[in-house]
Amino acid sequence: MFAALYGELVPHAWRDPESKLDAYELFHQRSLAMGWLDDRNAGGGSEDRMRRAPGLWGMNDAGWNHPLAVPGAKLISWFQVEVSAVADDRPLPVQPFLRCAEDATASAGTLNLSAVQVLLPVQGLDPSSRPPYAPVPSIGTVHWFAERDPRSRAPVEVCLDSGQDRSNPVVAQQLKDRLGHLDQKVFEYTSYDVGGEGTGISPPFDDSFWNGPAAQRVTFRGELAEWSLDAIGWLAEVLADCVARLGGHSPIVLTISARDTRS
Amino acid sequence: MFRRNISCAAFVFVISASAVATPPAMATSGEEATTSTYSYEDAVPGLAPASSDTTAIYLDEAGQPLSIDGVEATSAQTAALACTPESGMDNPHRSSTGVAVSGHGWWNKGDCSNNRANVYNCLYEWYTDNTWRRKACSATTELRPRRDGGGRTTARRNCDNTLYTSWRNHVDVDVIGEWDTAEKPMRQANVYCRVYG
């Protein structure tokens, strides 16, 4: 799983710009502190007899800059993890992943987020293993967003791209219907289209890293309960499960951006 | 401490076998191979079976055996005095910054006193003759402990293709001016990256 945060970051005045605590260190520390870092594949030393932590992911990489970022895209930070096997009754852990990403980034500066891009490993979800009480597990936590200030609802654009997997446009209509039938108001769409330009933010990684290049795109426009990485993570988890249930079995690049409705 | 000049060793490890890796375009899943029926020359990279943890050997780039046993302290007395640093590493993984496999290494003091160590990490690819063959090592770098912002080492190797393959990332920490114990920690993961040479 990979996340890229876009927008502006105003560095904390008190922070050493040359600090060795880079995005990798900060994310790793935060993952460890929250108990979400998976340690089970460590071995080979005297600690072999230890009971290892079954976390949500193993650390891969992170940074403030990326050599493949689109110039002008305002990339703030990026994070890459290897997701552990997803439990049958739990969602892909996008919310905790973005929580650590946000916390790591915010420890370097004040974040003004304009877009988030997440590579969702949909192929790691097995819809047939979901129990009847949790076909889309994130729906069970929908009430977390129930008591928000109505004025915090934010217009967003939600773009899913399955790259060279041509099933995405086919499932677009079904995805729209499925979203409409879920008992949730965290994300309410007003329109959608297949193809189009999407957000225009190319993901900062090689095509062979997922199933690129970008091609099969579906874009929803609507309102999110709030412009927060919590809500974005929740929606990403729901979309991943919905796509998997509709037969999607390849990685999806999901880009959620704040939409300026003033014009 | 992970020594370069020692013979094969048995490992016990646990893999998150069904971890969610991202399959790249055009990749085909590697097949979990059986072992011991291939010569060194005929062996090819692949997915390590569970049995490889206890029987595999390590080879350097020239095909010579490596050992991951050994201690820096050479007698029981000095071994008893040895300190234990914390040797850290992440999973071998596909790099997002290129078509490459990558892994990092770092250290913390543990119960050692000194605050400088020579650290390097190496990546090993599994072959069907049940060997782990060294494919890349970082430079040996003098680092402060990670908790003091000491940074990390990076081993990296470009992929020849994106077939699913088993990799290990081993780190070696040698605390400067102090006897330290000979941990040989590693992390293993299957990565959409295969290297032949």
Residue among B97, B150, B183 whose CB faces A20 most closely:
B150
**Per-residue pLDDT tens over the stretch A79-136:** 999 999 999 999 999 999 999 999 999 999 999 999 999 999 999 999 999 999 999 9
Measured CA to CA, the distance from residue A67 to residue A233 in angstroms comes to 25
Closest CA to A160 of A199, A124, A191: A199
Residue A54 lies in a domain: yes
**Per-residue pLDDT tens over the stretch B88-109:** 899 999 999 999 999 999 998 8
- Residue-range definition of the domain harbouring residue A79: 2-258
Measured CA to CA, the distance from residue A231 to residue A116 in angstroms comes to 11
Which H helix or E strand runs over B192? strand B186-194
Residue A263 lies in a domain: no
Question: Which structural domains are found in chain B, ordered by start?
Answer: 52-194 (2.60.40.2550)
Query: Would the CB atoms of B96 and A68 count as touching at under 8 Å?
Result: yes
- Contact assessment for residue B82 and residue B74, using Cβ atoms and an 8 Å cutoff: no
Measured CA to CA, the distance from residue B126 to residue B52 in angstroms comes to 9
From first to last of its 263 residues, chain A has per-residue pLDDT tens of 999 999 999 999 999 988 888 999 999 999 999 999 987 766 655 556 778 788 999 999 999 999 999 888 999 999 999 999 999 999 999 999 999 999 999 999 999 999 999 999 999 999 999 999 999 999 999 999 998 898 999 999 999 998 887 765 557 778 888 888 898 999 999 998 887 665 678 899 988 898 888 887 889 999 999 999 999 999 999 999 999 999 888 899 999 999 876 55
Residue A124 lies in a domain: yes
Measured CA to CA, the distance from residue B132 to residue A236 in angstroms comes to 38
Query: Would the CB atoms of B189 and A44 count as touching at under 8 Å?
Result: no
In chain B, which stretches have pLDDT less than 70? 1-36, 54, 69-80
Chain B contact probe: residue of A60, A65, A120, A254 with most B CBs at under 10 A: A60
Residue A113 lies in a domain: yes
How many structural domains is chain A composed of? 1
Residue A111 lies in a domain: yes
- Contact assessment for residue B146 and residue B106, using Cβ atoms and an 8 Å cutoff: yes
Residue A228 lies in a domain: yes
pLDDT at A197: 63
* Three state DSSP letters for chain B: CCCCCCCCCCCCECCCCCCECCCCCCCCCCCECCCCCCCCCCCCECECCCCHHHHCEEECCCCCEECCCCCCCCCHHHHHHCECCEEEECCCEECCCCCEEEEEEEEECCCCCCCCEEEEEEEEEEECCCEEEEEEECCCEEECCHHHCCCCEEEEEECCEEEEEEEEEEEEEEECCCCECCCCCEEEEEEEEECCC
Measured CA to CA, the distance from residue A49 to residue A39 in angstroms comes to 13
Query: Would the CB atoms of B96 and A83 count as touching at under 8 Å?
Result: no
pLDDT at B73: 45
How many A/B residue pairs have CB atoms within 8 Å? 152
